[in-house]
Structure 1
Amino acid sequence: MYRSIAEVPYDQRSIVTVGTFDGVHRGHRAIIDRMHAVARSRHARTVVVTFEPHPRLVLQRSTQQPIGLLTTLAEKYALLQLLGVDVLVVIPFTFEFSQTPAEEFVRSVLVEKIGLMHIVIGYDHSFGKDRQGNQALLEKLGAELGFSVESVPPVYLDSGEPISSTKIRGALQRGDLATANAMLGYTYSVEGIVVQGDGRGRRLGYPTANIELLDPHKLLPGSGVYCVSAPIDGRIVQG
Protein backbone atom coordinates (compact mmCIF):
# COMPACT_ATOMS: atom_id res chain seq x y z
CA MET A 1 0.00 0.00 0.00
CA TYR A 2 1.36 3.39 -1.02
CA ARG A 3 0.24 6.45 0.97
CA SER A 4 1.62 8.94 -1.53
CA ILE A 5 1.63 9.18 -5.32
CA ALA A 6 5.34 10.00 -5.14
CA GLU A 7 6.03 6.52 -3.68
CA VAL A 8 4.33 4.57 -6.48
CA PRO A 9 6.73 2.88 -8.93
CA TYR A 10 5.88 3.85 -12.50
CA ASP A 11 4.78 1.07 -14.84
CA GLN A 12 3.32 1.87 -18.25
CA ARG A 13 1.41 -1.43 -18.18
CA SER A 14 -1.03 -0.45 -15.45
CA ILE A 15 -4.70 -1.43 -15.40
CA VAL A 16 -6.28 1.16 -13.10
CA THR A 17 -9.51 1.88 -11.30
CA VAL A 18 -10.30 4.88 -9.10
CA GLY A 19 -12.87 5.23 -6.32
CA THR A 20 -13.64 5.19 -2.62
CA PHE A 21 -14.44 1.44 -2.68
CA ASP A 22 -16.22 1.69 0.66
CA GLY A 23 -17.25 -1.84 1.58
CA VAL A 24 -15.44 -3.50 -1.34
CA HIS A 25 -18.85 -4.97 -2.18
CA ARG A 26 -19.95 -7.21 -5.05
CA GLY A 27 -20.23 -4.27 -7.44
CA HIS A 28 -16.64 -3.29 -6.70
CA ARG A 29 -15.56 -6.90 -7.14
CA ALA A 30 -17.03 -6.96 -10.64
CA ILE A 31 -14.74 -4.04 -11.51
CA ILE A 32 -11.71 -5.76 -10.00
CA ASP A 33 -12.53 -9.05 -11.73
CA ARG A 34 -12.60 -7.20 -15.03
CA MET A 35 -9.26 -5.52 -14.22
CA HIS A 36 -7.68 -8.91 -13.61
CA ALA A 37 -9.01 -10.25 -16.91
CA VAL A 38 -7.54 -7.32 -18.83
CA ALA A 39 -4.27 -7.48 -16.87
CA ARG A 40 -3.82 -11.16 -17.71
CA SER A 41 -4.39 -10.55 -21.41
CA ARG A 42 -1.97 -7.60 -21.48
CA HIS A 43 0.62 -8.90 -19.00
CA ALA A 44 -0.01 -5.84 -16.83
CA ARG A 45 -0.45 -4.99 -13.15
CA THR A 46 -3.70 -4.00 -11.41
CA VAL A 47 -3.78 -0.69 -9.53
CA VAL A 48 -6.58 0.57 -7.28
CA VAL A 49 -6.47 4.29 -6.48
CA THR A 50 -8.54 5.29 -3.47
CA PHE A 51 -8.76 8.14 -0.96
CA GLU A 52 -8.37 8.61 2.80
CA PRO A 53 -10.34 9.95 4.53
CA HIS A 54 -13.58 9.28 2.65
CA PRO A 55 -14.27 12.39 0.51
CA ARG A 56 -17.66 12.94 2.12
CA LEU A 57 -16.01 13.31 5.53
CA VAL A 58 -14.09 16.26 4.09
CA LEU A 59 -16.73 17.85 1.85
CA GLN A 60 -20.00 17.37 3.73
CA ARG A 61 -21.63 20.38 5.36
CA SER A 62 -21.59 20.69 9.14
CA THR A 63 -25.39 20.38 9.10
CA GLN A 64 -25.23 16.98 7.40
CA GLN A 65 -25.10 13.72 9.30
CA PRO A 66 -21.58 12.25 9.08
CA ILE A 67 -21.25 9.30 6.74
CA GLY A 68 -20.84 5.89 8.35
CA LEU A 69 -18.04 3.85 6.80
CA LEU A 70 -18.54 0.26 5.73
CA THR A 71 -14.79 -0.39 5.83
CA THR A 72 -11.88 1.25 7.56
CA LEU A 73 -8.74 1.70 5.50
CA ALA A 74 -7.20 -1.40 7.10
CA GLU A 75 -10.29 -3.47 6.27
CA LYS A 76 -10.36 -2.15 2.72
CA TYR A 77 -6.70 -3.02 2.24
CA ALA A 78 -7.24 -6.55 3.57
CA LEU A 79 -10.22 -7.15 1.27
CA LEU A 80 -8.38 -5.84 -1.79
CA GLN A 81 -5.43 -8.08 -0.94
CA LEU A 82 -7.78 -11.08 -0.84
CA LEU A 83 -8.99 -10.08 -4.31
CA GLY A 84 -5.41 -10.14 -5.60
CA VAL A 85 -4.95 -6.43 -6.38
CA ASP A 86 -1.28 -5.77 -7.13
CA VAL A 87 -1.03 -2.13 -6.02
CA LEU A 88 -3.18 0.00 -3.71
CA VAL A 89 -2.57 3.75 -3.86
CA VAL A 90 -4.11 5.82 -1.06
CA ILE A 91 -4.27 9.53 -1.85
CA PRO A 92 -4.71 11.85 1.16
CA PHE A 93 -8.03 13.59 0.50
CA THR A 94 -8.17 17.26 1.45
CA PHE A 95 -10.35 20.16 0.37
CA GLU A 96 -7.43 21.46 -1.68
CA PHE A 97 -7.12 18.13 -3.48
CA SER A 98 -10.86 18.13 -4.18
CA GLN A 99 -10.33 21.24 -6.32
CA THR A 100 -8.12 19.32 -8.77
CA PRO A 101 -9.74 19.36 -12.23
CA ALA A 102 -10.53 15.89 -13.56
CA GLU A 103 -8.32 16.31 -16.63
CA GLU A 104 -5.34 17.37 -14.51
CA PHE A 105 -5.82 14.34 -12.25
CA VAL A 106 -5.80 11.98 -15.22
CA ARG A 107 -2.75 13.57 -16.82
CA SER A 108 -0.56 14.26 -13.80
CA VAL A 109 -1.48 11.28 -11.60
CA LEU A 110 -2.88 8.38 -13.59
CA VAL A 111 -0.79 8.78 -16.74
CA GLU A 112 2.44 10.50 -15.66
CA LYS A 113 2.88 8.99 -12.18
CA ILE A 114 1.25 5.55 -12.42
CA GLY A 115 1.49 4.64 -16.11
CA LEU A 116 -2.15 4.22 -17.10
CA MET A 117 -2.70 1.74 -19.94
CA HIS A 118 -6.38 0.90 -19.38
CA ILE A 119 -8.94 2.18 -16.88
CA VAL A 120 -11.98 0.26 -15.64
CA ILE A 121 -14.78 2.29 -14.01
CA GLY A 122 -18.25 1.75 -12.65
CA TYR A 123 -21.21 2.61 -14.87
CA ASP A 124 -21.95 5.85 -12.96
CA HIS A 125 -18.39 6.89 -12.08
CA SER A 126 -17.50 10.57 -11.84
CA PHE A 127 -14.47 12.30 -10.35
CA GLY A 128 -12.49 15.53 -10.09
CA LYS A 129 -13.57 19.05 -9.18
CA ASP A 130 -17.37 19.35 -9.28
CA ARG A 131 -17.40 15.69 -10.43
CA GLN A 132 -16.77 16.81 -14.01
CA GLY A 133 -14.75 13.71 -14.89
CA ASN A 134 -16.73 10.89 -16.48
CA GLN A 135 -16.47 8.18 -19.12
CA ALA A 136 -16.76 10.67 -21.98
CA LEU A 137 -13.83 12.74 -20.68
CA LEU A 138 -11.75 9.61 -20.10
CA GLU A 139 -12.38 8.40 -23.65
CA LYS A 140 -11.41 11.82 -25.03
CA LEU A 141 -8.18 11.86 -23.02
CA GLY A 142 -7.52 8.22 -23.81
CA ALA A 143 -7.57 8.94 -27.53
CA GLU A 144 -5.01 11.69 -26.96
CA LEU A 145 -2.78 10.03 -24.36
CA GLY A 146 -2.93 6.42 -25.48
CA PHE A 147 -4.99 4.57 -22.88
CA SER A 148 -8.27 2.68 -23.23
CA VAL A 149 -11.45 2.92 -21.16
CA GLU A 150 -14.29 0.60 -20.23
CA SER A 151 -17.16 0.71 -17.77
CA VAL A 152 -18.68 -2.18 -15.85
CA PRO A 153 -22.49 -2.44 -15.58
CA PRO A 154 -24.23 -2.52 -12.20
CA VAL A 155 -24.53 -5.74 -10.22
CA TYR A 156 -27.96 -6.72 -8.89
CA LEU A 157 -29.35 -8.92 -6.15
CA ASP A 158 -31.66 -11.73 -7.23
CA SER A 159 -34.52 -9.42 -6.22
CA GLY A 160 -33.43 -6.97 -8.91
CA GLU A 161 -32.11 -4.37 -6.46
CA PRO A 162 -28.85 -2.74 -7.62
CA ILE A 163 -25.88 -3.03 -5.27
CA SER A 164 -24.26 0.14 -3.95
CA SER A 165 -22.49 1.36 -0.83
CA THR A 166 -25.41 3.72 -0.14
CA LYS A 167 -27.93 0.87 -0.22
CA ILE A 168 -25.74 -1.25 2.04
CA ARG A 169 -25.56 1.57 4.58
CA GLY A 170 -29.33 1.90 4.46
CA ALA A 171 -29.80 -1.83 5.03
CA LEU A 172 -27.43 -1.78 8.01
CA GLN A 173 -29.16 1.23 9.54
CA ARG A 174 -32.49 -0.63 9.25
CA GLY A 175 -30.94 -3.69 10.90
CA ASP A 176 -31.36 -5.68 7.68
CA LEU A 177 -28.13 -7.65 7.92
CA ALA A 178 -29.32 -10.26 5.42
CA THR A 179 -29.59 -7.71 2.61
CA ALA A 180 -26.40 -5.91 3.62
CA ASN A 181 -24.41 -9.16 3.66
CA ALA A 182 -25.90 -10.28 0.35
CA MET A 183 -24.75 -7.02 -1.25
CA LEU A 184 -21.33 -7.12 0.39
CA GLY A 185 -20.69 -10.75 -0.47
CA TYR A 186 -19.39 -11.40 3.06
CA THR A 187 -20.51 -10.97 6.66
CA TYR A 188 -20.37 -7.38 7.93
CA SER A 189 -18.09 -6.89 10.91
CA VAL A 190 -16.85 -4.25 13.31
CA GLU A 191 -13.55 -4.16 15.16
CA GLY A 192 -12.69 -2.55 18.44
CA ILE A 193 -11.32 -2.82 21.94
CA VAL A 194 -13.29 -4.20 24.90
CA VAL A 195 -13.76 -1.42 27.46
CA GLN A 196 -15.36 -1.15 30.91
CA GLY A 197 -19.10 -0.52 30.84
CA ASP A 198 -21.70 0.21 33.53
CA GLY A 199 -22.08 -3.48 34.42
CA ARG A 200 -25.85 -3.50 33.82
CA GLY A 201 -25.77 -6.74 31.82
CA ARG A 202 -23.79 -8.52 34.54
CA ARG A 203 -26.26 -7.39 37.21
CA LEU A 204 -29.08 -8.83 35.10
CA GLY A 205 -27.22 -12.11 34.63
CA TYR A 206 -26.30 -11.40 31.01
CA PRO A 207 -22.72 -10.13 30.99
CA THR A 208 -21.80 -8.21 27.84
CA ALA A 209 -18.64 -6.87 26.23
CA ASN A 210 -18.59 -3.15 25.47
CA ILE A 211 -16.67 -2.39 22.29
CA GLU A 212 -14.93 0.89 21.56
CA LEU A 213 -14.58 1.11 17.78
CA LEU A 214 -11.10 1.52 16.34
CA ASP A 215 -12.53 4.04 13.84
CA PRO A 216 -15.28 6.34 15.16
CA HIS A 217 -16.66 6.73 11.62
CA LYS A 218 -17.34 2.99 11.25
CA LEU A 219 -21.05 2.35 10.69
CA LEU A 220 -22.87 0.37 13.37
CA PRO A 221 -26.09 -1.50 12.49
CA GLY A 222 -29.33 -0.01 13.78
CA SER A 223 -30.34 -0.53 17.41
CA GLY A 224 -31.32 -4.10 18.12
CA VAL A 225 -30.26 -7.49 19.44
CA TYR A 226 -27.95 -9.41 17.09
CA CYS A 227 -26.34 -12.83 17.00
CA VAL A 228 -22.59 -12.31 16.67
CA SER A 229 -19.33 -14.23 16.60
CA ALA A 230 -15.97 -12.84 17.63
CA PRO A 231 -12.40 -14.13 17.33
CA ILE A 232 -10.85 -13.92 20.80
CA ASP A 233 -7.47 -15.44 21.70
CA GLY A 234 -7.49 -17.70 18.68
CA ARG A 235 -11.01 -19.07 19.12
CA ILE A 236 -14.46 -18.05 17.88
CA VAL A 237 -16.88 -16.99 20.62
CA GLN A 238 -20.62 -16.79 19.95
CA GLY A 239 -22.77 -14.08 21.45
Structure 2
Amino acid sequence: MKNVKAIAIGGFDGMHIGHQKLFEAVGETGAVLVIETGYANLTPGRAREHYTDLPVFYYELETIRHLDAEGFIAKLSEEFPKLEKIVVGYDFHFGKDRRYAIDDLRAYFSGEVEVIDEVAIDNDSVHSHKIRAKLQIGDVKGANRFLGYNYTVHGEKVPGQGLGEKELFATINIDVKGFLLPKEGVYVTFARLDDEEHYHPAVTFIGHRVTTDGSFAVETHILDMNVGDIKRVRISFVDFIRPNKKFENLESLKAAIADDIAIAKRDTQRLSL
Protein backbone atom coordinates (compact mmCIF):
# COMPACT_ATOMS: atom_id res chain seq x y z
CA MET A 1 0.00 0.00 0.00
CA LYS A 2 2.83 2.39 0.79
CA ASN A 3 3.94 2.92 -2.81
CA VAL A 4 0.51 3.10 -4.44
CA LYS A 5 -0.11 6.48 -6.08
CA ALA A 6 -3.50 5.81 -7.66
CA ILE A 7 -6.41 3.53 -6.82
CA ALA A 8 -9.53 2.42 -8.64
CA ILE A 9 -12.38 1.94 -6.17
CA GLY A 10 -15.48 -0.18 -6.67
CA GLY A 11 -17.19 -3.51 -6.15
CA PHE A 12 -15.71 -4.92 -9.36
CA ASP A 13 -17.78 -8.06 -9.59
CA GLY A 14 -17.04 -9.40 -13.04
CA MET A 15 -13.94 -7.31 -13.76
CA HIS A 16 -15.73 -6.50 -17.02
CA ILE A 17 -14.77 -4.09 -19.81
CA GLY A 18 -16.19 -1.14 -17.89
CA HIS A 19 -14.07 -1.97 -14.86
CA GLN A 20 -11.01 -2.35 -17.07
CA LYS A 21 -11.35 1.31 -18.10
CA LEU A 22 -10.88 2.27 -14.45
CA PHE A 23 -7.82 0.05 -14.14
CA GLU A 24 -6.24 1.62 -17.22
CA ALA A 25 -6.67 5.06 -15.69
CA VAL A 26 -4.64 4.31 -12.55
CA GLY A 27 -1.47 3.50 -14.50
CA GLU A 28 1.45 1.24 -13.59
CA THR A 29 1.81 2.59 -10.05
CA GLY A 30 -1.86 2.06 -9.35
CA ALA A 31 -3.91 -0.55 -7.54
CA VAL A 32 -7.45 -1.84 -7.31
CA LEU A 33 -9.44 -1.36 -4.12
CA VAL A 34 -12.42 -3.70 -3.91
CA ILE A 35 -15.32 -2.80 -1.64
CA GLU A 36 -16.41 -6.34 -0.79
CA THR A 37 -20.16 -6.50 -0.20
CA GLY A 38 -20.38 -10.29 0.03
CA TYR A 39 -22.71 -10.41 -2.99
CA ALA A 40 -20.10 -10.87 -5.72
CA ASN A 41 -20.77 -14.04 -7.72
CA LEU A 42 -19.20 -13.41 -11.13
CA THR A 43 -15.71 -13.01 -9.67
CA PRO A 44 -16.19 -13.78 -5.97
CA GLY A 45 -13.40 -13.18 -3.49
CA ARG A 46 -9.89 -13.29 -4.88
CA ALA A 47 -11.09 -14.57 -8.26
CA ARG A 48 -10.88 -10.92 -9.34
CA GLU A 49 -7.09 -11.10 -9.25
CA HIS A 50 -7.06 -13.35 -12.32
CA TYR A 51 -8.23 -10.42 -14.50
CA THR A 52 -5.72 -7.68 -13.68
CA ASP A 53 -1.98 -7.33 -13.22
CA LEU A 54 -2.49 -4.57 -10.68
CA PRO A 55 -2.29 -5.31 -6.95
CA VAL A 56 -5.73 -5.80 -5.44
CA PHE A 57 -6.71 -4.73 -1.93
CA TYR A 58 -10.00 -5.38 -0.15
CA TYR A 59 -12.21 -3.44 2.24
CA GLU A 60 -15.10 -5.36 3.75
CA LEU A 61 -18.16 -3.15 3.46
CA GLU A 62 -19.15 -3.76 7.07
CA THR A 63 -15.85 -2.28 8.27
CA ILE A 64 -16.25 1.03 6.42
CA ARG A 65 -19.96 1.62 5.91
CA HIS A 66 -20.15 3.68 9.11
CA LEU A 67 -17.61 6.20 7.80
CA ASP A 68 -18.64 9.57 6.44
CA ALA A 69 -16.86 11.07 3.43
CA GLU A 70 -14.18 12.76 5.51
CA GLY A 71 -13.52 9.58 7.50
CA PHE A 72 -13.31 7.46 4.35
CA ILE A 73 -10.74 9.76 2.76
CA ALA A 74 -8.79 9.86 6.01
CA LYS A 75 -8.64 6.05 6.02
CA LEU A 76 -7.45 5.98 2.40
CA SER A 77 -4.81 8.62 3.08
CA GLU A 78 -3.52 6.72 6.09
CA GLU A 79 -3.32 3.36 4.35
CA PHE A 80 -2.13 4.74 0.99
CA PRO A 81 0.21 7.55 2.15
CA LYS A 82 1.45 8.37 -1.38
CA LEU A 83 -2.03 8.47 -2.88
CA GLU A 84 -2.38 11.15 -5.56
CA LYS A 85 -5.34 9.94 -7.59
CA ILE A 86 -8.66 8.18 -7.09
CA VAL A 87 -10.49 6.66 -10.05
CA VAL A 88 -14.17 5.74 -9.83
CA GLY A 89 -17.06 5.02 -12.15
CA TYR A 90 -19.72 7.61 -12.99
CA ASP A 91 -22.26 5.98 -10.64
CA PHE A 92 -19.96 5.53 -7.64
CA HIS A 93 -21.51 5.92 -4.16
CA PHE A 94 -20.18 5.04 -0.73
CA GLY A 95 -20.91 5.29 2.98
CA LYS A 96 -24.00 4.35 4.96
CA ASP A 97 -26.99 3.92 2.64
CA ARG A 98 -24.71 5.00 -0.25
CA ARG A 99 -25.27 8.61 0.80
CA TYR A 100 -21.91 9.94 -0.45
CA ALA A 101 -20.82 10.32 -4.07
CA ILE A 102 -18.19 11.81 -6.36
CA ASP A 103 -18.62 15.42 -5.18
CA ASP A 104 -17.85 14.27 -1.64
CA LEU A 105 -14.64 12.59 -2.80
CA ARG A 106 -13.57 15.82 -4.45
CA ALA A 107 -14.48 17.88 -1.40
CA TYR A 108 -12.24 15.92 0.99
CA PHE A 109 -9.49 14.44 -1.20
CA SER A 110 -6.65 16.83 -2.03
CA GLY A 111 -5.50 14.88 -5.08
CA GLU A 112 -7.12 14.12 -8.42
CA VAL A 113 -10.47 12.37 -8.71
CA GLU A 114 -11.01 10.90 -12.18
CA VAL A 115 -14.48 9.71 -13.14
CA ILE A 116 -14.84 7.13 -15.90
CA ASP A 117 -17.93 7.55 -18.04
CA GLU A 118 -20.42 4.81 -18.77
CA VAL A 119 -19.11 2.09 -21.10
CA ALA A 120 -21.59 0.76 -23.65
CA ILE A 121 -21.72 -1.75 -26.49
CA ASP A 122 -24.21 -0.92 -29.25
CA ASN A 123 -25.79 1.65 -26.94
CA ASP A 124 -26.25 -0.97 -24.20
CA SER A 125 -24.46 0.05 -21.01
CA VAL A 126 -22.19 -2.54 -19.41
CA HIS A 127 -23.15 -3.51 -15.86
CA SER A 128 -22.59 -6.58 -13.72
CA HIS A 129 -26.33 -7.08 -13.20
CA LYS A 130 -26.83 -7.30 -16.97
CA ILE A 131 -24.09 -9.92 -17.23
CA ARG A 132 -25.82 -11.94 -14.53
CA ALA A 133 -29.12 -11.68 -16.39
CA LYS A 134 -27.53 -12.91 -19.61
CA LEU A 135 -25.96 -15.90 -17.88
CA GLN A 136 -29.26 -16.80 -16.26
CA ILE A 137 -30.88 -17.19 -19.68
CA GLY A 138 -27.91 -19.05 -21.16
CA ASP A 139 -26.65 -16.12 -23.25
CA VAL A 140 -22.98 -16.73 -22.54
CA LYS A 141 -21.92 -15.04 -25.79
CA GLY A 142 -23.66 -11.85 -24.68
CA ALA A 143 -22.18 -12.11 -21.20
CA ASN A 144 -18.70 -12.68 -22.61
CA ARG A 145 -19.04 -9.64 -24.85
CA PHE A 146 -19.65 -7.45 -21.79
CA LEU A 147 -16.97 -9.19 -19.75
CA GLY A 148 -14.26 -9.01 -22.40
CA TYR A 149 -13.36 -12.65 -21.71
CA ASN A 150 -15.09 -16.02 -21.48
CA TYR A 151 -17.05 -16.35 -18.26
CA THR A 152 -15.11 -18.71 -16.00
CA VAL A 153 -15.86 -20.68 -12.85
CA HIS A 154 -13.58 -23.01 -10.93
CA GLY A 155 -13.72 -25.59 -8.20
CA GLU A 156 -12.56 -28.88 -6.77
CA LYS A 157 -13.10 -32.21 -8.47
CA VAL A 158 -15.66 -34.33 -6.62
CA PRO A 159 -16.99 -37.89 -7.05
CA GLY A 160 -19.80 -38.33 -9.56
CA GLN A 161 -22.38 -41.05 -10.20
CA GLY A 162 -19.88 -43.36 -11.87
CA LEU A 163 -22.18 -43.74 -14.87
CA GLY A 164 -20.22 -41.55 -17.26
CA GLU A 165 -17.16 -43.66 -17.82
CA LYS A 166 -19.10 -46.94 -17.72
CA GLU A 167 -22.27 -46.15 -19.66
CA LEU A 168 -21.87 -42.73 -21.30
CA PHE A 169 -18.78 -40.49 -21.59
CA ALA A 170 -16.18 -39.87 -18.92
CA THR A 171 -16.71 -36.58 -17.10
CA ILE A 172 -15.12 -34.54 -14.33
CA ASN A 173 -17.58 -33.49 -11.64
CA ILE A 174 -16.81 -30.11 -10.08
CA ASP A 175 -17.92 -28.51 -6.83
CA VAL A 176 -18.34 -24.88 -7.81
CA LYS A 177 -18.86 -22.63 -4.80
CA GLY A 178 -19.56 -18.92 -4.82
CA PHE A 179 -19.99 -18.51 -8.58
CA LEU A 180 -23.17 -17.72 -10.45
CA LEU A 181 -23.85 -20.64 -12.78
CA PRO A 182 -25.41 -20.17 -16.21
CA LYS A 183 -28.84 -21.56 -17.03
CA GLU A 184 -29.20 -25.34 -16.77
CA GLY A 185 -28.08 -27.02 -19.96
CA VAL A 186 -25.10 -28.06 -22.07
CA TYR A 187 -22.32 -25.67 -23.11
CA VAL A 188 -19.27 -25.46 -25.34
CA THR A 189 -16.43 -24.78 -22.93
CA PHE A 190 -12.70 -24.84 -22.36
CA ALA A 191 -11.25 -26.50 -19.25
CA ARG A 192 -7.95 -25.95 -17.48
CA LEU A 193 -6.80 -28.73 -15.18
CA ASP A 194 -4.87 -28.02 -11.98
CA ASP A 195 -1.85 -25.83 -12.74
CA GLU A 196 -1.73 -26.36 -16.50
CA GLU A 197 -1.14 -23.21 -18.53
CA HIS A 198 -3.40 -24.19 -21.42
CA TYR A 199 -7.09 -24.98 -21.77
CA HIS A 200 -8.62 -28.11 -23.28
CA PRO A 201 -11.73 -28.05 -25.47
CA ALA A 202 -14.64 -29.47 -23.52
CA VAL A 203 -18.39 -29.83 -23.26
CA THR A 204 -19.99 -29.01 -19.91
CA PHE A 205 -23.34 -29.92 -18.38
CA ILE A 206 -24.94 -27.82 -15.65
CA GLY A 207 -28.15 -28.89 -14.01
CA HIS A 208 -30.21 -31.62 -12.45
CA ARG A 209 -29.50 -35.06 -13.91
CA VAL A 210 -33.17 -35.66 -14.66
CA THR A 211 -32.54 -38.81 -16.71
CA THR A 212 -30.65 -40.57 -13.91
CA ASP A 213 -30.56 -39.69 -10.21
CA GLY A 214 -32.04 -36.16 -10.34
CA SER A 215 -29.16 -34.62 -8.41
CA PHE A 216 -27.58 -31.28 -9.38
CA ALA A 217 -24.18 -31.45 -11.07
CA VAL A 218 -21.55 -29.48 -12.93
CA GLU A 219 -19.67 -31.98 -15.05
CA THR A 220 -17.26 -31.62 -17.95
CA HIS A 221 -16.11 -33.98 -20.67
CA ILE A 222 -12.63 -33.15 -22.00
CA LEU A 223 -12.50 -33.65 -25.77
CA ASP A 224 -8.84 -34.22 -26.50
CA MET A 225 -7.50 -36.39 -23.70
CA ASN A 226 -8.10 -39.01 -21.05
CA VAL A 227 -8.12 -37.24 -17.71
CA GLY A 228 -5.92 -38.66 -14.99
CA ASP A 229 -5.74 -37.76 -11.32
CA ILE A 230 -6.59 -34.07 -10.99
CA LYS A 231 -7.80 -31.86 -8.14
CA ARG A 232 -9.07 -28.57 -9.58
CA VAL A 233 -10.73 -27.45 -12.80
CA ARG A 234 -11.40 -24.04 -14.38
CA ILE A 235 -14.31 -23.97 -16.83
CA SER A 236 -14.64 -21.14 -19.39
CA PHE A 237 -17.98 -20.89 -21.17
CA VAL A 238 -18.07 -20.26 -24.92
CA ASP A 239 -21.58 -21.00 -26.16
CA PHE A 240 -24.90 -22.59 -25.23
CA ILE A 241 -25.71 -25.89 -26.98
CA ARG A 242 -29.08 -27.00 -25.61
CA PRO A 243 -31.28 -26.86 -22.52
CA ASN A 244 -31.39 -29.61 -19.95
CA LYS A 245 -33.96 -32.31 -20.76
CA LYS A 246 -35.06 -35.76 -19.69
CA PHE A 247 -34.34 -38.68 -22.02
CA GLU A 248 -36.24 -41.96 -22.14
CA ASN A 249 -33.17 -44.09 -21.54
CA LEU A 250 -29.37 -44.03 -21.35
CA GLU A 251 -29.05 -44.87 -25.04
CA SER A 252 -30.94 -41.69 -26.00
CA LEU A 253 -28.91 -39.66 -23.52
CA LYS A 254 -25.66 -41.05 -24.91
CA ALA A 255 -26.69 -40.17 -28.47
CA ALA A 256 -27.50 -36.61 -27.40
CA ILE A 257 -24.15 -36.26 -25.62
CA ALA A 258 -22.38 -37.51 -28.75
CA ASP A 259 -24.12 -34.73 -30.69
CA ASP A 260 -23.09 -32.21 -28.02
CA ILE A 261 -19.48 -33.36 -28.32
CA ALA A 262 -19.57 -32.99 -32.11
CA ILE A 263 -20.85 -29.40 -31.77
CA ALA A 264 -18.21 -28.58 -29.16
CA LYS A 265 -15.44 -30.01 -31.34
CA ARG A 266 -16.57 -27.94 -34.30
CA ASP A 267 -16.83 -24.74 -32.31
CA THR A 268 -13.62 -25.08 -30.31
CA GLN A 269 -11.57 -25.80 -33.42
CA ARG A 270 -12.23 -22.19 -34.42
CA LEU A 271 -11.11 -20.85 -31.06
CA SER A 272 -8.13 -21.00 -28.77
CA LEU A 273 -7.30 -19.86 -25.24
Q: What range is the shorter-chain TM-score in?
A: 0.7 to 0.9
**1:173 to 2:136 alignment:** yes
**CA separation in 1, counterparts of 2:169 and 2:31?**
48
Give the partner amino acid of 2:30: T
Give the partner amino acid of 1:16: I
**What TM-score comes out, normalization by structure 2 length?**
0.67
Q: Report SS of the residue matched to 2:118.
A: coil
Q: Among residues 197, 209, 219, which one is paired with 2:180 in the alignment?
A: 219
Q: Report SS of the residue matched to 1:227.
A: strand
> How much has 1:229 moved relative to structure 2?
1.6
Say whether the 8 Å CA contact 1:174–1:222 is kept in structure 2: yes
Residue 48 of structure 1 corresponds to: 32
> How much has 1:193 moved relative to structure 2?
1.6
Residue 78 of structure 1 corresponds to: 50
Residue 191 of structure 2 corresponds to: 230
Residue 111 of structure 2 corresponds to: 147
Give the partner amino acid of 1:22: D
**CA separation in 2, counterparts of 1:230 and 1:10?**
37
**1:20 to 2:20 alignment:** no
Residue 99 of structure 2 corresponds to: 132
**What TM-score comes out, normalization by structure 1 length?**
0.75
Tell me: higher relative CO, structure 1 or 2? Use CA pairs within 8 A at least 6 residues apart. 1
Say whether the 8 Å CA contact 1:227–1:238 is kept in structure 2: yes
Q: What's the CA shift string for 1:21-63, capped at 9, x where partnerless?
A: 1111000011111222xx6xxxxx2121114xx31x3xxxxxx
Whichever of the two has the greater Rg, that structure is 2
Give the partner amino acid of 2:79: K
Residue 72 of structure 2 corresponds to: 105
**1:210 to 2:173 alignment:** yes
> How much has 1:237 moved relative to structure 2?
4.2
Structure number with the higher helix fraction is 1
> How much has 1:9 moved relative to structure 2?
1.9
> How much has 1:75 moved relative to structure 2?
2.3
**Percent of paired sites with the same residue:** 31
Residue 88 of structure 1 corresponds to: 56
**CA separation in 2, counterparts of 1:181 and 1:200?**
32
Say whether the 8 Å CA contact 2:65–2:94 is kept in structure 1: no
Structure number with the higher strand fraction is 2
Specify whether residues 187 and 128 from structure 1 end up closer, same or farther in structure 2 by C-alpha distance, changes over 3 A only. same
> How much has 1:96 moved relative to structure 2?
4.6
**CA separation in 2, counterparts of 1:79 and 1:180?**
16
The RMSD of aligned alpha carbons is 2.1
Say whether the 8 Å CA contact 1:34–1:120 is kept in structure 2: yes
* Unpaired runs of at least 5, structure 2: 204-273
